[in-house]
Amino acid sequence: MANVFSSQDTRLSAGARIILPAVWLGLIIGISLIEAPLKFTAPGITIPLGLGIGRLVFTAMNWVEIVIAVILLWSVLKDHIGRAYRWLACGMIAVLIIKVTVIRPLLNKRTDAVLAGVDDGGSSLHLFYIAADGLLIIGLIAMLIVAVRKWATVRPEVSA
pLDDT for position 70: 94
pLDDT for position 143: 94
Q: How far is CA 9 from CA 42, 79, 152, in A?
A: 46, 9, 17
The H or E element spanning position 64 is helix 47-78
pLDDT tens by residue, the chain, 160 residues: 344 334 555 777 778 889 999 999 999 999 999 998 898 888 998 888 888 898 999 999 999 999 999 999 888 887 767 888 999 999 999 999 999 999 999 999 888 888 888 876 667 888 999 999 999 999 999 999 998 888 777 655 545 5
pLDDT for position 99: 97
CB 89, CB 143: distance < 8 Å: yes
pTM of the model: 0.84
